[in-house]
Structure 1
Amino acid sequence: MPLNRGKEEDKEPLLELFVKAGSDGESVGKRPFSQRLFMILWLKGVVLSASTVDLKRKPADLQNSAPGTHPPFITFNNEVKTDVNKIEEFLEDVSCPPKYLTLSPEHPASNTAGMDIFAKFSAYIRNSRPEAKEALERGLLKTLRKLDEYLNSPHLMNLMRILWRTLSFLHVNFVDGNEMTLADGNLLPKLHIVKVVAKKYRNFDIPKGMTGIWRYLTKAYSRDEFTNTCPSGQEVEIAYSDVAKRLTK
């Protein structure tokens, strides 16, 4: 899956991104960390080669260059880097202004917004005891509500900018403001999985009253940086078919 961005004359270090393939062995698979790195590189406009890796048929050359390594990972001038958090820091260092955007959030709280959602979701979706379902669902709703409140509460600097332009629009589109940052690369892939899987296997919908979350998702689904790096809903459902425990009667 080659991704060519930028101008031919702008020669850059060789950067390759490897992400897990989906059930068909070719499409992007369900790995929020994979999408996180893919989104960061896309947002920065970095020239790279992106490839999906079918773990059942891992290419021989990849076995040699990155033995025992599972995607996502990158190679930078043929040097393998595997730790997602360290890769994120590395990309901020080497793909920096003035040529590239910095994606660090302005507001520290944006880095932790929604951080508990995926853990609560995992406990909810893996549960097989009917008597525990209600309590686990309440726990998930509580974390979603906290994120919704954050998304509906403009940060001070953004509020000042918004008020300068208009008094009628007091919310922002993404976690840290009106542009995507590293915080969105971390949160959005997980939130997409929560929405798809909870509906499929628990008939649970994120409440429509959580306007901040739905605005956030709607804006994300309108952006190529998200949709073109995102596994399909069907792929996510397949990936969770064995994980989502059936509730026993």
Structure 2
Amino acid sequence: MAKQGSGRKNPEIELFIKAGFDGENIGNCPFCQRLFMVLWLKGVVFNVTTVDMKKYPHLTPRQPESYAAGSDLFAKFSAYIKNARKDANEKFEKALLKELKRLDNYLKEPLSDEIDANSSETILVSKRKYLDGNELTLADCNLLPKLHIIKVAAKKFRNFEIPVEMCALWRYLNNAYKRNEFSHTCPTNEEIERAYADIAKNLE
């Protein structure tokens, strides 16, 4: 990632690239190397900082299913919001509801690490905060921005709201909004509404 300063004549550019195994030298990353080469070939004056990736927490979900949760949700929403036929609206809405329900079911189902084989207590409903546990992962980073857009745009242009009975899904959303990493990176509702003003079709 290249970072450019505010100076007009002599901008300061900082290139952050993956560090090697020693945490200091250039690491194995063709994308970083490509940027490095392009800047050098263009004669750009820049500083290079290697980043030790081992010092950062891993964001990969433990459960492969967490990646797939809600994977078809945005496609169903897009079809729903772009549909202009009033007689077909119910069909597209049901398809969206089906995907939301599938996500709600996944969030309800306890993960393997929530089940204690030595305990006599049976856990029927998961209490985890996010898709893969109680910490945000890449799966959440992929799904939550789309889910936020769906919540805002569907309400604005179709007067559609995620059903309150989808308790696990609402628990997930509410927990996400409490995290600055999500809530402080969300666009405003107005930005989303403006973006979809030309995409959402009026029902006729």
Short-chain TM bin: 0.7 to 0.9
Segments of 5+ residues of structure 1 without an aligned counterpart are 1-14, 17-48, 52-60, 62-74, 81-93
With over 3 angstroms needed to count, the CA separation of the structure-2 counterparts of 1:150 and 1:169, relative to structure 1, is closer
Checking the alignment, whether the CA contact within 8 Å between 1:153 and 1:171 is kept in structure 2 is no
1:177 aligns with 2:133: yes
**Residue matched to 1:133:** 89
1:135-154 alignment runs, 5 A limit: 135-154=91-110
Secondary structure in 1 matching 2:197: coil
**Residue matched to 1:120:** 76
**How big is each residue's C-alpha offset from its partner over 1:12-44, in whole Å with a ceiling of 9 and x where there is no partner?**
xxx34xxxxxxxxxxxxxxxxxxxxxxxxxxxx
Runs of 4+ in 1 over 2 A off after TM superposition: 75-78, 94-97, 158-161, 167-170
TM-score (norm 2): 0.73
**Residue matched to 2:20:** none
Aligned residues: 165
Checking the alignment, whether the CA contact within 8 Å between 1:128 and 1:246 is kept in structure 2 is yes
Segments of 5+ residues of structure 2 without an aligned counterpart are 6-10, 12-30, 37-50
Question: Which fold has the larger relative contact order, with Cα–Cα distance below 8 Å and residues 6 or more apart in sequence?
Answer: 1
1:211 aligns with 2:167: yes
CA RMSD of aligned residues (A): 3.0
- Structure 1 residue identity aligned to 2:80: Y
With over 3 angstroms needed to count, the CA separation of the structure-2 counterparts of 1:106 and 1:124, relative to structure 1, is same
Q: CA deviation at 1:168?
A: 10
Higher radius of gyration, 1 or 2: 2
**How big is each residue's C-alpha offset from its partner over 1:205-237, in whole Å with a ceiling of 9 and x where there is no partner?**
000000111111101111011012111111000
With over 3 angstroms needed to count, the CA separation of the structure-2 counterparts of 1:115 and 1:170, relative to structure 1, is closer
Distance 2:149 2:104 in 1: 17
Distance 2:86 2:125 in 1: 43
Task: Give the one of 211, 223, 227 matched to 2:179.
Answer: 223
Distance 2:160 2:176 in 1: 21
- Structure 2 residue identity aligned to 1:229: T
**Residue matched to 1:96:** 53
Distance 2:146 2:52 in 1: 25
Distance 2:168 2:80 in 1: 22
Checking the alignment, whether the CA contact within 8 Å between 2:110 and 2:125 is kept in structure 1 is no
**Residue matched to 2:156:** 200
Distance 1:50 1:202 in 2: 41
- Structure 1 residue identity aligned to 2:68: T
- Structure 1 residue identity aligned to 2:79: A
With over 3 angstroms needed to count, the CA separation of the structure-2 counterparts of 1:110 and 1:203, relative to structure 1, is same
- Structure 1 residue identity aligned to 2:154: A
Task: Give the one of 61, 64, 67 matched to 1:108.
Answer: 64
Distance 2:87 2:189 in 1: 29
Percent identity over the alignment is: 48
With over 3 angstroms needed to count, the CA separation of the structure-2 counterparts of 1:151 and 1:95, relative to structure 1, is farther
Checking the alignment, whether the CA contact within 8 Å between 1:172 and 1:178 is kept in structure 2 is yes
With over 3 angstroms needed to count, the CA separation of the structure-2 counterparts of 1:77 and 1:136, relative to structure 1, is same
**How big is each residue's C-alpha offset from its partner over 1:31-87, in whole Å with a ceiling of 9 and x where there is no partner?**
xxxxxxxxxxxxxxxxxx599xxxxxxxxx9xxxxxxxxxxxxx858818xxxxxxx
- Structure 1 residue identity aligned to 2:85: R
